[in-house]
């Protein structure tokens, strides 16, 4: 029974690649952005088909339901759109290419707005892939949690 397992895996892989169309796995990814009020930013959308980049697609961008234009994604599958932010607040970004839709968020702040950003597992470690936390990092997180419950 164990001898058939690699054969079954291979068969399953072939079914995925040959039978199921690539459009079933098509996706659009948009990165979330933190920006300042009344500044130009670059919105980035990545078009994919399954595991592979899919360039040459027309991507339509909209912010808070209002279209801001369309662009053609490059050979690297990335489409860029310049957007000028307005008042401070949270903006919803949608990117469409055919039937695929991706969404993201733009957090727009005043220049004087305080911002607390915490990346617990990555930036607090001494080095990438290190398991040893930076000295006093846990203490700093506790202080922040007590200040902003």
**pLDDT exceeds cutoff 70 at 127:** no
pLDDT one-digit tens code per residue, 74-107: 989 999 999 999 999 889 999 999 889 999 989 8
Query: Which contacts of 48-55 are long-range, i.e. CB under 8 A and separated by 24 or more positions?
Result: 48/77, 49/22, 49/23, 49/25, 50/22, 50/25, 50/26, 51/25, 52/22, 53/77, 54/26
Q: Which of 55, 35, 37 is nearest to 45 (CA)?
A: 55
What's the pTM value of the predicted model, to 2 decimals?
0.63
pLDDT one-digit tens code per residue, 2-39: 455 556 665 555 555 555 544 445 589 998 888 899 99
């Amino acid at each position: 029974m164990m001898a058939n397992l690699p054969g079954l895996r291979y068969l399953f892989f072939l079914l995925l690649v040959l039978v199921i169309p690539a459009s079933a796995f098509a996706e659009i990814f948009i990165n979330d952005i933190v920006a300042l009020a009344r500044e130009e930013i670059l919105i980035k959308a990545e078009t994919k088909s399954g595991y592979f980049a899919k360039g040459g697609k027309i991507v339509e961008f909209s912010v808070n339901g209002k279209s801001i234009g369309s662009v053609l994604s490059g050979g690297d599958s990335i489409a860029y759109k310049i957007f000028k932010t307005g008042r401070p607040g949270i903006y919803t970004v949608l990117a469409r290419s055919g039937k695929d839709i991706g969404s993201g968020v733009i957090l727009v702040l005043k220049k004087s707005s305080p911002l607390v950003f915490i990346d617990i597992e990555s930036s607090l470690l001494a080095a990438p892939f290190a398991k040893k936390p930076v000295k006093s990092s846990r203490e700093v997180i506790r202080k922040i949690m007590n200040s902003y419950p």
